[in-house]
């Protein structure tokens, strides 16, 4: 359906693709992987014609429809969320819009002389609209929006009043309703809660078109894709299988290549040693020349491309008291919406409690109450003795000084740390070399999240409160964070929609329900086994 044939692409002085080839066939669901900046978004833009390759061809079969979802959703206002989603539904949406115009024309006294022609056209358009199942469009649009977490009120409200994250869900809904022959999805799992993510998995698994997508959620990738294309150092390499298969195969390939490289290096060293030893002896001249010619003809094995391995070791956190946070009889409402009535909760030392609940259940509100960024309407919230708290929330990224560099930000926070220690810290969180001189205003969402995380974890608190800490983080940084937090000896209270993160780090589950808080000892994996579902909103 889509073929890349010896494509080369350069951005400024940076080579993105060098004679790269790959194909997307009917029914394939491909995960596009590679380090940040490898060219994933550039590839999408070339397929959709927004950018041209410098050399080579991108071939799309005649008549193939493509739907592209990207993080840049553009302006949305003046329509309801339902209307915005329906507007992307291809021919049915266009014909539906003409039908509405003709209905208005039939009721317009100024066009009475043309009524016969309008009625005739209305009949033709209505017939075509019925062929395309257009009258079911509204219902299908609402079904998609419901799956993406919208209430009926939000569906019918002005899309312009929604936050950026909800507008992204609307943009994603447009592509899903369109059901094109090929979907290109750039990070569709960002900004979704766990329930919406699981719904999207099911939708994409049942979608019979071809799919090419990026995602930083490995569990989501595993459930959806059946092939991986890796972008690395300008080339495209295909792997048949899910993400776990790719990760295993990639590691095996690297190990084999390293062994091959080392064997060749040992052989070369031996040959060179012989040549050096005997090159001055006339009696060995023929053998020396023979070996020199042999070395010239050998195809040199390149060592495997070493990706920067990100690592971070926690300093030991000071010990807190056994009772870390205690909520007693807490009431909280926003306007007429009741969030909690008489909530009781005790967070104990060494708890790693993940908070689950449907949209609006009060997950972030619970973290805000515990951290003191929100006050209860009634009841009490108390922290225990010797508790030193670190709070990661999305708004923390907005508090960075845009004019300061990454290094200046770290140096201002830790003036006595020493330049070497701060550069090591920056490197551990993905800022190597000159990247520490980047100003905060030009950092991507992922880079800002990494910097805020570095600020929080360098001098570690003994109580970490994390609200969606993996949003914007790439797979390598997520793995680093999971590895680091697995060694962390303090207490954690966190919200995340990343099931790999939840399963790896939780030892207690707090499920927020309208009837109160249900507590489960054992981590997220045990919760899934006991309840039979991966998220509370799937009860229905």
- For 494, phi then psi, to 5°, come to -150, 155
- Mean pLDDT, rounded, of the chain: 87
Q: 90 or 333: whose pLDDT is higher? A: 333
Please list, in sequence order, all residues whose beta carbon lies within 8 angstroms of the beta carbon of residue 53, skipping any fewer than 6 positions away.
Answer: 7, 8, 9, 17, 46
Straight-line distance from the first to the last Cα atom of the chain, in angstroms, rounded to the nearest whole number: 38
Cα distance between residue 186 and residue 171, in whole Å: 12
| Range from 422-426, 474-478, 529-533 carrying the lowest mean pLDDT | 474-478
> Sign of the CA dihedral 223, 224, 228, 230?
negative
Cα distance between residue 316 and residue 488, in whole Å: 8
Read off the pLDDT band of 539 (50, 70, 90).
very low
β 491-495/352-356 pair status: parallel
Please list, in sequence order, all residues whose beta carbon lies within 8 angstroms of the beta carbon of residue 60, skipping any fewer than 6 positions away.
Answer: 1, 2, 47, 66
* The pLDDT of residue 78: 80
Percent of the chain with pLDDT over 90: 34
Question: Which tokens hold the place of 413?
Answer: 């926070």
Question: Region 254-261: what's the mean pLDDT?
Answer: 85
Distance of CA 257 to the CA centre of its chain: 30
Cα distance between residue 335 and residue 517, in whole Å: 21
Question: Region 102-127: what's the mean pLDDT?
Answer: 84
Please list, in sequence order, all residues whose beta carbon lies within 8 angstroms of the beta carbon of residue 89, skipping any fewer than 6 positions away.
Answer: 137, 141, 174, 177, 178
Read off the pLDDT band of 540 (50, 70, 90).
very low
* The pLDDT of residue 306: 57
**The pLDDT of residue 129 is above 80:** no
**The pLDDT of residue 89 is above 60:** yes
**The pLDDT of residue 319 is above 60:** yes
HSE on the CB side for 187, CA within 13 Å?
Answer: 19
Read off the pLDDT band of 424 (50, 70, 90).
confident
Whole-prediction pTM: 0.79
Q: Is 301 helix (H, G, I), strand (E, B) or coil?
A: coil
| Range from 86-100, 210-224, 410-424 carrying the lowest mean pLDDT | 86-100
| Range from 35-39, 366-370, 491-495 carrying the lowest mean pLDDT | 35-39
Read off the pLDDT band of 470 (50, 70, 90).
confident
Interval 185-199: pLDDT, tens: 998 988 888 999 999
Residue that the structure tokens 């397929």 belong to: 47
Task: Report CA Rg, the chain.
Answer: 29
Q: 274 or 525: whose pLDDT is higher? A: 525
Read off the pLDDT band of 313 (50, 70, 90).
low
**The pLDDT of residue 202 is above 70:** yes
**The pLDDT of residue 116 is above 60:** yes
Helix/strand/coil (H/E/C) assignment for every residue in 316-380? CCCCCCCEEEEEEEEEEEECCEEEEEEEEEEEECCCEEEEECCCCCCHHHHHHHHHCCCCCCEEE
Ramachandran region of residue 379, left (φ > 0), alpha (ψ -120 to 50) or beta?
A: left
Read off the pLDDT band of 310 (50, 70, 90).
low
Question: Region 230-252: what's the mean pLDDT?
Answer: 87
Read off the pLDDT band of 429 (50, 70, 90).
confident
Neighbouring C-beta atoms of residue 163, cutoff 10 Å: 9
């Amino acid at each position: 359906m889509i073929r890349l044939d010896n494509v080369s692409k350069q951005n400024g002085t940076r080579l993105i693709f060098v004679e790269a080839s790959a194909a997307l066939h009917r029914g394939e669901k491909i995960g596009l992987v590679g380090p940040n900046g490898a060219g994933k978004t550039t590839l999408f833009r070339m397929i959709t014609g927004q950018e041209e390759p410098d050399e080579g061809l991108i071939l799309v079969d005649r008549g193939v429809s493509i739907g592209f979802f990207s993080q840049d959703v553009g302006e949305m206002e003046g329509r309801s969320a339902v209307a915005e989603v329906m507007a992307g539904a291809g021919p049915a949406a266009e014909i539906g819009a003409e039908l509405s115009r003709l209905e208005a024309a039939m009721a317009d006294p100024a066009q009475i002389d043309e009524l016969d022609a309008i009625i005739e056209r209305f009949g033709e358009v209505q017939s075509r609209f019925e062929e395309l199942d257009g009258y079911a469009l509204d219902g299908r649009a609402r079904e998609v929006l419901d799956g993406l977490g919208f209430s009926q009120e939000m569906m019918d409200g002005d899309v312009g009043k929604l936050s950026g994250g909800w507008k992204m869900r609307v943009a994603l809904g447009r592509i899903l309703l369109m059901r094109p022959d090929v979907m290109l999805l750039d990070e569709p799992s960002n900004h979704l809660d766990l329930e919406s993510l699981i719904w999207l998995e099911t939708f994409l698994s049942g979608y019979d078109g071809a799919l090419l997508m990026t995602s930083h959620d490995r569990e989501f990738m595993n459930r959806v894709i059946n092939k991986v294309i890796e972008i690395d150092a300008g080339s495209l390499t295909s792997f048949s299988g899910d993400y776990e298969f790719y990760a295993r195969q990639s590691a095996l390939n690297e190990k084999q290549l390293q062994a091959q490289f080392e064997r060749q290096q040992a052989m070369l060293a031996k040959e060179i040693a012989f040549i050096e030893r005997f090159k001055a002896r006339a009696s060995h001249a023929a053998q020396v020349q023979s070996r020199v010619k042999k070395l010239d003809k050998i195809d040199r094995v390149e060592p495997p491309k070493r990706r920067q391995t990100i690592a971070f070791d926690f300093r030991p956190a000071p010990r807190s008291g056994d009772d870390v946070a205690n909520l007693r009889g807490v009431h909280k409402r926003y306007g007429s919406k009741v969030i909690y009535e008489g909530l009781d909760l005790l967070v104990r030392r060494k708890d790693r409690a993940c908070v689950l609940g449907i949209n609006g259940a009060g997950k972030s509100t619970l973290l805000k109450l515990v951290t003191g960024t929100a006050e209860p309407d009634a009841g009490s919230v108390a922290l225990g003795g010797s508790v030193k708290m670190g709070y990661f929330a999305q708004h923390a990224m907005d508090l960075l000084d845009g004019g300061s560099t990454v290094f200046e930000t770290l140096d201002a926070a830790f003036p006595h740390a020493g330049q070497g220690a701060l550069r090591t810290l920056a490197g551990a969180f993905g800022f190597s070399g000159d990247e520490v001189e980047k100003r905060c205003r030009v950092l991507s969402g992922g880079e800002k999240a990494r910097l805020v995380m570095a600020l929080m974890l360098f001098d570690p608190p003994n109580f970490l409160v994390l609200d969606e800490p993996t949003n914007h983080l790439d797979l390598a940084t997520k793995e680093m964070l999971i590895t680091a937090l697995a060694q962390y000896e303090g207490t954690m209270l966190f919200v995340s929609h990343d099931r790999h993160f939840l399963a790896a780090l939780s030892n207690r589950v707090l499920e927020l329900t309208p009837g109160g808080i249900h507590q489960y000892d054992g981590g997220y994996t045990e919760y899934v086994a006991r309840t039979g579902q991966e998220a509370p909103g799937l009860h229905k």
